[in-house]
Chain A
Amino acid sequence: MSALLRRCLASWLLLMSLGSLRADAEDVVGTLDAMGSDTMAGLMLRWGQALTRQHPGIRLQLQASGSASAPPALAAGTTRLGPMSRPMNEAERQAFIERHGYPPRELVVARDALVVVVHRHNPLESLGRRELDALFSDSRRCGARKEIRQWRQLGHDRPEGRIRLHGRNAASGTHGLFRHIALCDGFFRPEVNEHPGSAAVVAAVTEDPRAIGYAGLNHLTPGVKALARRDAEGKRHFPDPDAVQHGDYALSRDLYLYINLPPGDSLPAAEQAFFNLVLSPVGQAIVEELGFVPLPEVRRVSQRRELALDELDS
């Protein structure tokens, strides 16, 4: 009995060591840490899970404290991946160059958009560039003549009275992007309610027929209706994947990953595995699953080529 047990144990140990040997030979081991955008937190986590499934030795450790936290951490070398929902600005780039002598490597990993949402029963369908500015801004840099405060100013009688505005808190990437594109870099009106997350904006609009808010595309729910954006010729652009991919919908943006890669060097093994996944059809399917928009095929392939990732590998 005990002999049998011992034999079992021995063979099990042998199997275990064989298994680990095999893992060592084929697989990369290590912890990839990432610090940055909270918009991309869900995306990074899912990529991390898929990565661990492919390569059990790699773990992704994520700290999602906002896009602004990525550049200093990358420059100081405390993180290997810097997810950001906006491109690095000049000051952040300079700080990195001062430290390392070369710029950080920028990769576009997904497309995202901001949606302007109203209650699902609201008759409003689309907003023009100037209308949106007149709604949310008191500086009206995009050229609107008068500010819009009442629903009837938008040509609808049904929700009566004042328009209630909802948005993200100052300092979030979403807030900054909306200011840049929709307000022409102007100022927000103080009446805009600032919520700590896009989900809170959507929740606030869901329950109030007189509300308008802006949020990230991936937070859309059936409770709200995303408005189309009218361009100068009066053509409507709905935030559908195609329009977001090609930038026809003006409130769209790239999502970035920054890494510290000296020019001429090839990617370290763990990073290589990670980007191999992210820029693969599987990785882009995760993007779509989470409500973001995948990269256009051309762009995905060209970035793979730049990183010298083998297309067949995925």
Chain B
Amino acid sequence: MPDSPSTLSGRRRLRQGRDRLATALVTAGGIGAIVALLAIGLFLAVEVMPLFWSSEATETVSQRALWLPREGADGAVQYRWDPTATLPTEDVARVSLVPLAWGTLEAAAWALLIAIPLALGAAAHSALFMSTRLRSRVKPTLELMEALPGVVIGFIAGLVLAPWVDRHLADVLTLLILLVPGLLLASGLRSCLPPRLQQAIPLSWAGLWLLPWLLLILAAAHGLSPWLEAWVFGGDLHRWLEVRLGLDITVRNAMIVGMAMGFAVMPSVYALAEDALSGVPRSLAEGAQALGATRWQTLWRVVLPAASPGILSAVMIGAGRAVGETMIVLMASGNAALMTWNPLDGLRSLAATIAIELPEAGPESLHYRLLLLAALLLFVFTFLVNTLAEWVRSRLRRRYRRLGSGR
């Protein structure tokens, strides 16, 4: 049945109206997001202002106290955060934000150090080498890990993992030493297998081959650690580290935070990187291999560069989350505002400090403003990370646009 012209134009008008409504909604949403972002920044800036201008604040909290070290009793350089102390006249206020910023960056760095190799390795393997069937199972499972709330991860890390690692420090150390060479050896051993067996375990099922080896390495680490501890570390690793190297060891330390947060950050980095890698046109990789490139050369020289904008944004999203993550650091780090390079010592991040101190800081008090300054600093950190990521990404994208579909 043919439509009459009037119903046709009516329908078109309806569609146009819907179009316009959708456009308006999208625009409003976009503008709203930008306005909210600016408003938050502005609110923080305005609330922090009195810290720099009111005479009452500047007398007790000088700019020196905020950013520069104070001299300790023994002449050593100190940065201290202890803002609730009643401020005695002879002492400088301990309100340095430097150890908190340090803690934030240190925690994020350890998390990324653990998350990025794992996530990118997993992404490369599942995007390029895994069979489609296996990949369709593995990818959602890994992405499901992202749904784990930070509180749960922090709780497990702080209350279960941290004491366990402290009790079995030698095991963990031995495992770290054995893991990479052991897995490389295992991969190498595969090529020593008779060809029939090799075909039975194709590269797409490499996990099946590595899993028993991984268990073997775990068992070996557990078995070897008492020997290692007895021979190399004089029977007690804790003591050796503390006495010989002068390292302080705390139960809740930067390493634990790195592991827990690395675990939390990994799924999102993996998901984005995997999308980027599988988005690289097959023709590129096939072309490279047809020209005689090995798998490794194809991955390293062709696919990775082509996917680099996506991978970089994946890493940066991970970095942004690691910098802003609160609960994991709060529960797994011990919140000691230290500044050390030692991964076995505690740290304290900006976000965790805000979370545990803001509820009891009196409104409009000096402490409250200091915490808002910490929030502003955190805001600036994440803003910088994201801006940098966007800038590098757009440059890379321009450079690799000629490749493939311009992704």
- Sort chain A's interface into a size bin: 35 or more
Within 8 A of B (CB), among A93-140: 138-139
- Min CB distance A251 to B, Å, is 18
If A169-B357, A170-B84, A171-B360 touch, whether A193 touches B159 (CB-CB below 8 Å) is no
Interchain CA distance A166-B163 in the complex, whole Å:
14
Interchain CA distance A138-B78 in the complex, whole Å:
12
B336 within 8 A of partner (CB): yes
B278 within 8 A of partner (CB): no
- A191 partner residues in chain B, CB cutoff 8 A: 248, 250, 336, 338, 346
Q: Do the beta carbons of B357 and A171 come within 8 Å of each other?
A: yes
Interchain CA distance A195-B80 in the complex, whole Å:
18
Q: Nearest B residue to A67 by beta-carbon distance? A: B360
B125 within 8 A of partner (CB): no
If A66-B360, A193-B252 touch, whether A187 touches B94 (CB-CB below 8 Å) is yes
Q: Do the beta carbons of B238 and A170 come within 8 Å of each other?
A: no
B175 within 8 A of partner (CB): no
Of A65, A162, A169, which one neighbours B242 at CB under 8 angstroms? A162
Q: Do the beta carbons of B83 and A161 come within 8 Å of each other?
A: no
B251 within 8 A of partner (CB): yes
Q: Do the beta carbons of A193 and B356 come within 8 Å of each other?
A: no
Within 8 A of B (CB), among A190-209: 190-196, 203-204, 207-208
Interchain CA distance A102-B330 in the complex, whole Å:
41
Within 8 A of A (CB), among B229-253: 236, 238-239, 242, 248-252
Q: Nearest A residue to B166 by beta-carbon distance? A: A208
- B54 partner residues in chain A, CB cutoff 8 A: none
Q: Nearest B residue to A173 by beta-carbon distance? A: B360
Interchain CA distance A231-B224 in the complex, whole Å:
50
**How does the 8 Å CB contact mask read for B325-343 relative to A, with 1 for contact and 0 for none?**
0000010001111100000
Q: Do the beta carbons of B338 and A190 come within 8 Å of each other?
A: yes
Number of B residues, CB within 8 Å of A: 41
Q: Do the beta carbons of B335 and A190 come within 8 Å of each other?
A: no
Of A162, A172, A204, which one neighbours B360 at CB under 8 angstroms? A172
A188 within 8 A of partner (CB): yes
Within 8 A of B (CB), among A35-86: 65-69, 72
Of A162, A171, A194, which one neighbours B336 at CB under 8 angstroms? A194
Q: Do the beta carbons of B82 and A187 come within 8 Å of each other?
A: yes
Q: Nearest B residue to A161 by beta-carbon distance? A: B242
B363 within 8 A of partner (CB): yes
Of B72, B239, B335, B361, which one neighbours A160 at CB under 8 angstroms? B239
Interchain CA distance A307-B324 in the complex, whole Å:
51
A237 within 8 A of partner (CB): no
Q: Do the beta carbons of A176 and B248 come within 8 Å of each other?
A: no
Q: Nearest B residue to A164 by beta-carbon distance? A: B250
Q: Do the beta carbons of A72 and B363 come within 8 Å of each other?
A: yes
- A208 partner residues in chain B, CB cutoff 8 A: 163, 166, 251
B86 within 8 A of partner (CB): yes
Interchain CA distance A50-B354 in the complex, whole Å:
36
Q: Do the beta carbons of B84 and A176 come within 8 Å of each other?
A: yes
B258 within 8 A of partner (CB): no
Of A160, A190, A196, which one neighbours B330 at CB under 8 angstroms? A196
A219 within 8 A of partner (CB): no
Q: Nearest B residue to A149 by beta-carbon distance? A: B248
A236 within 8 A of partner (CB): no
Of B82, B356, B367, which one neighbours A188 at CB under 8 angstroms? B82
- Min CB distance A274 to B, Å, is 25
Q: Do the beta carbons of B336 and A190 come within 8 Å of each other?
A: yes
Q: Do the beta carbons of B242 and A194 come within 8 Å of each other?
A: no
Q: Do the beta carbons of B335 and A169 come within 8 Å of each other?
A: yes
Q: Nearest B residue to A141 by beta-carbon distance? A: B88
B2 within 8 A of partner (CB): no
Which of A68, A176, A185 has most B Cβ within 10 Å? A68
Q: Do the beta carbons of B81 and A190 come within 8 Å of each other?
A: yes
Q: Do the beta carbons of B99 and A179 come within 8 Å of each other?
A: no
Q: Do the beta carbons of A170 and B82 come within 8 Å of each other?
A: yes
B359 within 8 A of partner (CB): yes
Q: Do the beta carbons of B356 and A194 come within 8 Å of each other?
A: yes
**How does the 8 Å CB contact mask read for B282-311 relative to A, with 1 for contact and 0 for none?**
000000000000000000000000000000
B362 within 8 A of partner (CB): yes
Q: Do the beta carbons of A207 and B163 come within 8 Å of each other?
A: yes
**How does the 8 Å CB contact mask read for A269-283 relative to B, with 1 for contact and 0 for none?**
000000000000000
- Min CB distance B254 to A, Å, is 13
Interchain CA distance A304-B45 in the complex, whole Å:
50
- B242 partner residues in chain A, CB cutoff 8 A: 161-162
- B334 partner residues in chain A, CB cutoff 8 A: 166, 193-195
**How does the 8 Å CB contact mask read for A165-190 relative to B, with 1 for contact and 0 for none?**
01001111001100100000111101
Interchain CA distance A268-B367 in the complex, whole Å:
36
Q: Nearest B residue to A172 by beta-carbon distance? A: B360
**How does the 8 Å CB contact mask read for B62-97 relative to A, with 1 for contact and 0 for none?**
000000000011000000111111101001001000
- A211 partner residues in chain B, CB cutoff 8 A: 251
- Min CB distance A270 to B, Å, is 27
Q: Do the beta carbons of B80 and A192 come within 8 Å of each other?
A: no
- B360 partner residues in chain A, CB cutoff 8 A: 65-69, 171-172
Of A160, A171, A204, which one neighbours B84 at CB under 8 angstroms? A171
- Min CB distance A35 to B, Å, is 12
Q: Do the beta carbons of A194 and B367 come within 8 Å of each other?
A: no
Interchain CA distance A192-B251 in the complex, whole Å:
12
- Min CB distance A99 to B, Å, is 15
Interchain CA distance A66-B252 in the complex, whole Å:
26
Q: Do the beta carbons of A171 and B356 come within 8 Å of each other?
A: yes
Q: Nearest B residue to A196 by beta-carbon distance? A: B356
Interchain CA distance A62-B166 in the complex, whole Å:
39
Given known contacts A160-B239, A166-B334, what 5 new A-B pairs fall within 8 Å (CB)?
A169-B335, A185-B88, A190-B82, A207-B251, A208-B166
Sample (5) of A-B pairs whose CB atoms are under 8 Å apart: A161-B238, A171-B367, A190-B337, A195-B334, A207-B163
List 8 tightest A-B contacts by C-beta distance, closest first: A193-B334, A171-B360, A66-B360, A194-B335, A169-B356, A207-B163, A170-B84, A171-B357
Which A residues contact B (CB, under 8 angstroms)? Answer: 65-69, 72, 138-139, 160-162, 164, 166, 169-172, 175-176, 179, 185-188, 190-196, 203-204, 207-208, 211
